[in-house]
Amino acid sequence: MTGRFGRLEEEKVFKDPVHRYIHVRDELIWELIGTREFQRLRRVRQLGTTYLTFHGAEHTRFNHSLGVYEIMRRIVENMEEREHWDSEERLVCLSAALLHDIGHGPFSHSFEKVFHTDHEEWTRKIILGDTEVHKVLLKMGQDFPKKVADVIAKTYPNKLVVSLISSQIDADRMDYLLRDAFYTGVSYGHFDMERLLRVMRPMEDSAVFKHSGMHAVEDYIMSRYQMYWQVYFHPVTRSAEVILSKILHRAKHLYEQNYQFKDKPKHFISLFSGSITLEDYLKLDESIILYYFQEWQDEADAILKDLCQRFMDRRLFKYVECDPSAQMKIWTELNQLFIKIGLDPTYYLVIDSSSDLPYDFYRPGEEEERLPIHLLKPTGELRELSRESDVVEAISGKKRTDHKLYFPKDILENDTTFAEEKKRILELLMAQEG
Amino acid sequence: MTGRFGRLEEEKVFKDPVHRYIHVRDELIWELIGTREFQRLRRVRQLGTTYLTFHGAEHTRFNHSLGVYEIMRRIVENMEEREHWDSEERLVCLSAALLHDIGHGPFSHSFEKVFHTDHEEWTRKIILGDTEVHKVLLKMGQDFPKKVADVIAKTYPNKLVVSLISSQIDADRMDYLLRDAFYTGVSYGHFDMERLLRVMRPMEDSAVFKHSGMHAVEDYIMSRYQMYWQVYFHPVTRSAEVILSKILHRAKHLYEQNYQFKDKPKHFISLFSGSITLEDYLKLDESIILYYFQEWQDEADAILKDLCQRFMDRRLFKYVECDPSAQMKIWTELNQLFIKIGLDPTYYLVIDSSSDLPYDFYRPGEEEERLPIHLLKPTGELRELSRESDVVEAISGKKRTDHKLYFPKDILENDTTFAEEKKRILELLMAQEG
Amino acid sequence: MTGRFGRLEEEKVFKDPVHRYIHVRDELIWELIGTREFQRLRRVRQLGTTYLTFHGAEHTRFNHSLGVYEIMRRIVENMEEREHWDSEERLVCLSAALLHDIGHGPFSHSFEKVFHTDHEEWTRKIILGDTEVHKVLLKMGQDFPKKVADVIAKTYPNKLVVSLISSQIDADRMDYLLRDAFYTGVSYGHFDMERLLRVMRPMEDSAVFKHSGMHAVEDYIMSRYQMYWQVYFHPVTRSAEVILSKILHRAKHLYEQNYQFKDKPKHFISLFSGSITLEDYLKLDESIILYYFQEWQDEADAILKDLCQRFMDRRLFKYVECDPSAQMKIWTELNQLFIKIGLDPTYYLVIDSSSDLPYDFYRPGEEEERLPIHLLKPTGELRELSRESDVVEAISGKKRTDHKLYFPKDILENDTTFAEEKKRILELLMAQEG
Amino acid sequence: MTGRFGRLEEEKVFKDPVHRYIHVRDELIWELIGTREFQRLRRVRQLGTTYLTFHGAEHTRFNHSLGVYEIMRRIVENMEEREHWDSEERLVCLSAALLHDIGHGPFSHSFEKVFHTDHEEWTRKIILGDTEVHKVLLKMGQDFPKKVADVIAKTYPNKLVVSLISSQIDADRMDYLLRDAFYTGVSYGHFDMERLLRVMRPMEDSAVFKHSGMHAVEDYIMSRYQMYWQVYFHPVTRSAEVILSKILHRAKHLYEQNYQFKDKPKHFISLFSGSITLEDYLKLDESIILYYFQEWQDEADAILKDLCQRFMDRRLFKYVECDPSAQMKIWTELNQLFIKIGLDPTYYLVIDSSSDLPYDFYRPGEEEERLPIHLLKPTGELRELSRESDVVEAISGKKRTDHKLYFPKDILENDTTFAEEKKRILELLMAQEG
């Protein structure tokens, strides 16, 4: 490398409960960790509202980003001993691993849906814009920041490098599965990472896995599948997300209606108006959001006030399973009944759908192509995983979606007013579950 | 019990990474967890600024409080099978365990020092005042809230119950050692809790431990000792605390000087003026504090601005060991040099002292008497732990204090101005360590 | 119970690395553990020759039997709180769990194949015959031993009790998966046992699982599947088993041919002649077998000597995949070549097949019917697992068999004699792998 | 290196539950593991009779030896990056680590006491004698075997290398503490090995530890202390050892008295007569011993028969604490009473003493000098650990010995004969405990 950074005089370590230690040997990495944009990730939880379901899941994206870096460091160390690896790419790779999530804001999932922002775009802006991160990267060379951004954007020419960060089995996914399992305390999510790294073989376009390691790959895929259904799509978390996005919707709506907030929500203005700058964006973290949610508990608007109280005090919506395609008639009746009892169904009767593709392979024309996992036979032949593994085949390409209908059961069960209507609503809702 | 609560129809569980599951079988406990005051603990980290040293330590007091409750539940279950235990106290005990930290505010350590608040007093107010917690407790009987508050205040007549929550080995300490070790990832802090619970025997005034379990008790004491020095008194965490308390000091000072903040720090006003109400207090959580710290990064006051930037971006002070008693002359020179180069030593040259008594026994006249740990011989005789264990004896009653001098090394190393003075300052500082 | 045993005055515990503690509260269980027949299980490894592949797998059936007992104790404790459970069966259940493997001899797998013994039959004889175990059980009542034996033999009228010990998810399987994973060090084999026990519901004929626990059940099935392929059917272990059974075959053959052993193999005589008594059987343990194998290293018979040296020094056979149905011609040639170079193919060219049914449900007429796993919907409806789970469906009822051809590669590669023939043999063998 | 071995084409790994994987990259190490002398360690348990107390402790010296090798491999890898390390010594070091226990026989502790053998002497003979191990080592050079033997014998000139295998903190002790804790399931014995390795610094004569790692060293010392008292000196294990050594004593005595054994104990003859050869020694393993113990259960000699039955069926002696110096009178009476009731006190009334020095430093003139642990200050100064650490100081140099008196309580409690005398014996024994 021709940059101004070299090796640290003495290796630095971070104590990490998942990987035991995170090892930093490069000045570049050390300085990137010290930037304010990277430190900001300490104020953004890794799993958004999941802590309302699994109280242990309070870890942040800072925590996870160090983990992804560490896994990449180990992959790179392994690969340097082998052929296909161009060691020049080492620091590009490590930086991309460390920074891949730097564009995430607070509660990204709901924010992106409501405000049409895109954390990948922000990642790019942070790496290429006027930031401390950018200044540090620049010391490695004029085109270094762009290389790092390209890896994360998957447009980097070296597809192997790209695949190590974004593919079916990449450093990102390996870390989050292990880490989220650790912090939630669930027993799923464990797999033998050390073995996966050992059987990983770099090829021109991506890493493949020795066929003898197939069961370790299967185990990884199954862990992912379990984590999706046990943790990521947990219906209680989705309830919190429903309320969260309805708060954002309502606040935006009120702003557009020239509603007078008690205090001007200055951090939100540019979000509401779609004119957010990098500087504005970097100020957003979970404390800011939670500050407003707490303030809004005292707003005059009944909906905003109620939703914020629900979120802060964790009085979430309950849910029933539903089949949105089949029940238009009931749906109409429910909406009318909600209006009748004074609950705006836009905010209080919400369908949420989840879907998951725990393993999938290339199907041309799909919006986001997912590269398949290949196994390498002793003969040199490559075989696509789902053709070799019954288990993976069973869950491949099956888009499993579940639909749930969320609503404030507490209000409906309080029958001092509209007793009749509420009883009918509850009947209709409970009948969904059949 | 004569209260209005009974057993839950179906046991509820929380997945917990430390105890695997938290089991809730009583309606009372379930309702207490659902109160807004208890939910607020989700927004207060268990270890304050420690996450700036150990990135895994992002867990909250909510997380810990459930753990203390769970340990107490197991103790009570064990004790119900034995003699000295009055099963009527069960729910008092469980409630006190759950609520023992409910009065904690954000970054308690520094807040209490600067604003002279006391989390134990707030705990009492929350339990006895006009809160959801109080309302729930009241359903158990008119005097139930007071009983719970008295247990936490250690004034409850049944000293055994008190000792289970506040003694050398209590449910609180057992949980935080295990939990803090888990989340920081350090390998200290583990001990065989199950064995401790098994050898615990209720006596009239406190629980004692079967003599055959002495090594398990020793191991616990040593874990505590290690956690103190490896985690709780870690010099980097103390650096963050130094900056945090200096921010609070500065803001208070500015307020008292009628400094005009860009936005009125409304959540702080009653703190500054010493007139904080329960309602004000319950609004305080870490998001609120961090919101202001972020805002104050743009204040006109250079000291407040700088300290807030340091805290948010984790640009902490460095430190040297020092002996505050021996070096008055150097101390005076350092202060003068700091003033000369434009750094107010009140904020930028700070001595911090830690001390620890990992195990201690009763010494009359001490402010806070710590009850000794007693071992129960097969003959029925009780022996005080430090008389039986060389290891414990070695660390008993020894107040080990270390003093560190914190300062902004980055400024001192930037020698474009006051190069001479800065060089001298660094010389003086480095000479301390000798 | 009307027996002569009651509760122990003080609970006894065994420290166990898998379940932390094994709790014994009943005199009956304590006495059973102390019998010589149960202590004998300390001299029989749980996984036979697997320690030659995974060096950690040195644990014994004693170790496992305590674990099965402990799981059963927890199941029973849970069930006692629920309806369908007859608490009278408690001790029958615990005894059966503890004793279910008591009939196992050393290296059962190969011994049973070669000598046509059956550990289940021996279990019955030990429980009902003139043994210490029998005497202890008898103190509970005249018919108590038979009850215990019937549970293990699956002929006991209470099918629920039977199913807790022998079904798709039983105490036996749960313990061995967790335990074998722990001792081998593989990361498969873990599942959330505590959750499985929590969602288990006793029905008349068997335990079912709450539908909400389906993913925990899936995870268990996948662990089993992984353990089968990663550990139980590991080709190196099978190589050790091949050699072991060939040693037994050879010794039997020599005995039948009136071969004169240097020392009379007195422990084997009744095995060879098929006239083994209970007293003879109880003397067999792994030390006895290994004693003979060591002795036989110095026998005159070249085959017995060589095989014993291979086993003791772990110079195992190598293997290639093969398709036994397709290659009769090659097979014939290989056999002839082996004979030509002086290696008896009966002992030196061995096909071994494994097969597994990780989950299967009832199919009438099958030799050993496996009861399906049922999920209990909130409505009370039961659903068979593989209809609900894609993953389980994918692996259900698929008899996956693999065939391997074992041979002494070391001899074939030593080409100082029969160089031509050996080269041809290796060509033929390597060609199998395709 | 000039030897005939190089790096393996592809790294080999062993799955290990303690270190996850054991990595083998050198042909030399691979071949050493394959020798029959090393494979023999699979038949010698690491903790002798401890499995009779902690059923999980069934692991062998094979298991442990691989672990010591792996730790050494990691130490060497770390050191190669630093100054004081001569990389030429690498394979000497790894081989010595792997082979350091190769001379251990079955139940060494008791065997060495009774037959005056010395496993260190046998280690030397195996490495230098006519063995497969020797032949493999020889391929590295004519003097290579001697170098390896010298390291183990602590006579090797490079004292740093010696200290890595035999000192207060060496690869051997680190592995056995972690491993024995893992297999017994006790929660002591854990320490942060990775941190110890990180703060280890090679000096000329030994490795020292950075002062900043003092607490990790303290934690290690405390783990050792706990393991000694919780596991290694467990009174039940000592009871098993008492019986074991009494069996060996009795058999030797009988042999010397020309007693006619049913079968000649051919493996023991040379042990009894003190003329054991290397070939004889290598045949000894636990199966051989247990074979004889089983056989001897049917001997005519009542003492040998009884002791062997006790050992096989784990009917151990009970114990009381005693003070051997103070009670000569009682001791005499007890002996006379034992003789009177027909129990030879030589075999049935046995004092066993344990002692431990968990940390000690150099005291000239002591038989076995233990090198102290030194801490390295940032200034380069070395400080002896116990001067820096109160905790270590507390346990340094204190020879803590406990004495226990073992006896067959079962016989004494059976009062159908000699009721009076037995009652008196029990009174005298129980009075010891005071």
Q: How far apart are CA B330 and CA B118, in angstroms?
A: 36
Per DSSP, A258 falls in state T
Separation in Å, CA of D126 to nearest CA in chain C: 16
In this prediction, residue A364 carries a pLDDT of 45
Give A-chain residues touching B294 at CB under 8 angstroms. Answer: 283, 285, 287-288
What's the distance, Cα to Cα, between the start and end of chain C in Å? 64
Give A-chain residues touching B43 at CB under 8 angstroms. Answer: 290
Mean pLDDT over each residue of chain D, to the nearest integer: 91
pLDDT bin (cut points 50, 70, 90) of residue A258 is: very high
Q: Is B183 on the interface with A (CB under 8 A)?
A: yes
pLDDT surpasses 60 at A434: no
Q: Is C228 on the interface with A (CB under 8 A)?
A: no
Contact D218/B230, CB-based, under 8 Å? no
In this prediction, residue B370 carries a pLDDT of 64
Q: Domains in chain C, please, with CATH?
A: 7-232 (1.10.3210.10), 235-315 (1.20.1250.30), 317-357+399-434 (1.20.1250.30)
Buried/exposed C309-334: b ≥16 CB within 10 Å, e otherwise:
bbbbbbebbbbbebeeeebeeebeeb
Helix/strand/coil for C266: helix
Provide the residue type at D150 as one letter: D
Contact B42/A51, CB-based, under 8 Å? yes
In this prediction, residue C35 carries a pLDDT of 98
Separation in Å, CA of D246 to nearest CA in chain B: 28
pLDDT > 70 in chain A, percent: 93
Give D-chain residues touching B192 at CB under 8 angstroms. Answer: 186-188
Q: Mean of the pLDDT values across residues D233-237? A: 94
In this prediction, residue C356 carries a pLDDT of 63
Contact B55/A39, CB-based, under 8 Å? no
Separation in Å, CA of C38 to nearest CA in chain D: 9
- Comparing C-alpha atoms, which of A350, A357, A434 is closest to residue A400? A357
Q: Which two tokens stand for residue B343?
A: 């750094």
Q: How far apart are CA B219 and CA A221, in angstroms?
A: 40
pLDDT bin (cut points 50, 70, 90) of residue D387 is: confident
From the DSSP assignment, how many helices (H) and strands (E) are in chain B? Answer: 23, 9
Q: How far apart are CA C30 and CA C58, in angstroms?
A: 24
Give D-chain residues touching C52 at CB under 8 angstroms. Answer: 42
pLDDT bin (cut points 50, 70, 90) of residue A69 is: very high
The complex scores an ipTM of 0.94
Encode chain B (434 residues) as per-residue pLDDT tens digits: 456 788 898 899 999 999 999 999 999 999 999 999 999 999 999 999 999 999 999 999 999 999 999 999 999 988 877 655 666 689 999 999 999 999 999 999 899 999 999 999 999 999 999 999 999 999 999 999 999 999 999 999 999 999 999 888 999 999 999 999 999 999 877 899 999 999 999 888 889 999 989 989 999 998 988 898 889 999 999 999 999 999 999 999 999 999 999 999 999 999 999 999 999 999 999 999 999 999 999 999 999 999 999 999 999 999 998 887 777 788 899 999 999 999 999 999 999 988 766 666 544 444 455 678 999 998 899 999 988 888 888 777 666 778 999 999 999 999 889 999 999 999 999 887 65
pLDDT surpasses 50 at D337: yes
pLDDT surpasses 50 at D366: no
Q: How far apart are CA B401 and CA B324, in angstroms?
A: 12
Dump the DSSP string for C338-380.
HHHTT--HHHHSEEEEEEE-SB----TT-SS--PPPEEE-TTS
Q: Residues B318, B351: contact at Cβ < 8 Å?
A: no
pLDDT surpasses 50 at A1: no
Contact A187/C188, CB-based, under 8 Å? no
Strand B207-210 with B200-202, pairing: antiparallel
Separation in Å, CA of C57 to nearest CA in chain D: 8
**Partner residue opposite B20 with nearest CB, options C13, C21, C194:** C194
Q: Residues D365, D375: contact at Cβ < 8 Å?
A: no
Which positions ≥6 away from A111 have C-beta within 8 Å?
Answer: A105, A117, A248
Chains that touch C (3 or more CB pairs under 8 A): A, B, D
Which positions ≥6 away from B15 have C-beta within 8 Å?
Answer: A54, A56, A184, A185, A186, B21
Q: Is A191 on the interface with C (CB under 8 A)?
A: yes
In this prediction, residue C87 carries a pLDDT of 62
In this prediction, residue D3 carries a pLDDT of 61
Picking from A209-223, A256-270, B123-137, which range would have the lowest pLDDT averaged per residue? A209-223
Chains that touch B (3 or more CB pairs under 8 A): A, C, D
The sign of the torsion formed by the CA atoms of A381, A386, A391, A392 equals positive
Which positions ≥6 away from C254 have C-beta within 8 Å?
Answer: C261, C301, C304
pLDDT surpasses 60 at D365: no
Interval B27-82: pLDDT, tens = 999 999 999 999 999 999 999 999 999 999 999 999 999 999 999 999 998 887 76
Interval A354-377: pLDDT, tens = 876 666 654 444 445 567 899 999
pLDDT surpasses 70 at A269: yes
Q: State the 10-residue block means of pLDDT for chain C, 434 residues long.
A: 75 95 96 98 97 97 98 91 69 97 95 93 97 97 96 93 91 96 88 93 89 91 88 94 97 97 95 94 97 98 98 97 80 94 96 74 50 88 88 76 92 92 93 72
Which positions ≥6 away from B192 have C-beta within 8 Å?
Answer: B216, B219, D186, D187, D188
Interval A70-81: pLDDT, tens = 999 999 988 877
Q: Residues B385, B375: contact at Cβ < 8 Å?
A: yes
Whole-model pTM?
A: 0.93
Give A-chain residues touching D20 at CB under 8 angstroms. Answer: 194
Give C-chain residues touching D56 at CB under 8 angstroms. Answer: 15-17, 59, 63
Q: Which two tokens stand for residue C52?
A: 């030659």
Q: Which two tokens stand for residue B173?
A: 């300490």
Give B-chain residues touching C194 at CB under 8 angstroms. Answer: 20-21
Q: Is C21 on the interface with B (CB under 8 A)?
A: yes
Contact D395/B393, CB-based, under 8 Å? no
Give A-chain residues touching C221 at CB under 8 angstroms. Answer: none
Q: How far apart are CA D111 and CA D45, in angstroms?
A: 14
Contact B291/A288, CB-based, under 8 Å? yes
Separation in Å, CA of A184 to nearest CA in chain B: 6
Strand D7-16 with D20-26, pairing: antiparallel
Q: Is B76 on the interface with D (CB under 8 A)?
A: no
What's the distance, Cα to Cα, between the start and end of chain D in Å? 64
Buried/exposed B109-148: b ≥16 CB within 10 Å, e otherwise:
bbbbebbebebbebbbbbbbbebbbbebbeebeeebbbbb
pLDDT > 90 in chain D, percent: 73
Minimum Cα–Cα distance from B38: chain A residue: A313
Interval B128-187: pLDDT, tens = 999 999 999 999 999 999 999 999 999 999 999 999 998 889 999 999 999 999 999 998
pLDDT surpasses 90 at A389: no
pLDDT bin (cut points 50, 70, 90) of residue D418 is: very high
Q: Is C120 on the interface with A (CB under 8 A)?
A: no
Contact A39/B314, CB-based, under 8 Å? yes
Strand B374-376 with B207-210, pairing: parallel
In this prediction, residue D9 carries a pLDDT of 86
Buried/exposed C142-172: b ≥16 CB within 10 Å, e otherwise:
eebbbbbbbbbbeebebebbbbbbbbbbbbb
